[in-house]
A and B are shown apart, each in its own frame.
Chain A
Amino acid sequence: RKEVEQDPGPFNVPEGATVAFNCTYSNSASQSFFWYRQDCRKEPKLLMSVYSSGNEDGRFTAQLNRASQYISLLIRDSKLSDSATYLCVVNSGGNMLTFGGGTRLMVKP
């Protein structure tokens, strides 16, 4: 079993839709959590950190459920420019981040 698991998608949604991605992690000792965005043939870029209390950045909301060991990302009012691969990332200690395989989002006009 992978340490960080994501549905690879693709998620095909129309502009303006709300879409949610989930991610599960296996190490209960994991300490910090992130969502990264990766555009085609580009490097991953930090989208947002994920806090226990949940956090929001504009149209993006991240939630962490430590008891169930899952992380979610909600995107409201999807834009064409949101089309990308979203990587769930977990720090399980030891200064190392573990990347999920990514969920591909395609926003259609």
Chain B
Amino acid sequence: EADIYQTPRYLVIGTGKKITLECSQTMGHDKMYWYQQDPGMELHLIHYSYGVNSTEKGDLSSESTVSRIRTEHFPLTLESARPSHTSQYLCASSWTNYGYTFGSGTRLTVV
């Protein structure tokens, strides 16, 4: 049973549209993360948060933005989607120094 939820699971959208990928967790974890992963490739950290009102960019440059207004919620927004944004986006959460729990991911296709 998942304690971290991502919606939508799949999204096909046209170029130039604004999209928000949702991520919520019910475990009270203080830390949350967004990763981008192409099929068969490595995970790339794009954003992370250590708590409410704390957000940082990750190792991979991304045109997306995030917010952390509530502990349980960490949405990712793309203001203007492009085909190069086509990928799988994985959200994760954790306590300090513990392993991460991942959501099921959002598979985004921009046409």
> Which residues of A does B touch, CB under 8 Å?
31-32, 34, 36, 41-46, 49, 87, 89, 91, 95-97, 99, 101-102
Q: How large is the interface on B (under 10, 10 to 19, 20 to 34, 35 or more residues)?
A: 20 to 34
23 contacts across the A-B interface (CB closer than 8 A): A31-B97, A32-B97, A34-B99, A36-B99, A41-B39, A41-B88, A42-B104, A42-B105, A43-B90, A43-B103, A43-B105, A44-B90, A44-B100, A45-B102, A46-B99, A49-B99, A95-B31, A95-B94, A95-B96, A96-B48, A97-B94, A97-B99, A102-B42
User: CB-CB < 8 A to B94: which residues of A?
Assistant: 95, 97
> Which residues of B does A touch, CB under 8 Å?
31, 39, 42-43, 45, 48, 50, 88, 90, 94, 96-97, 99-105, 107
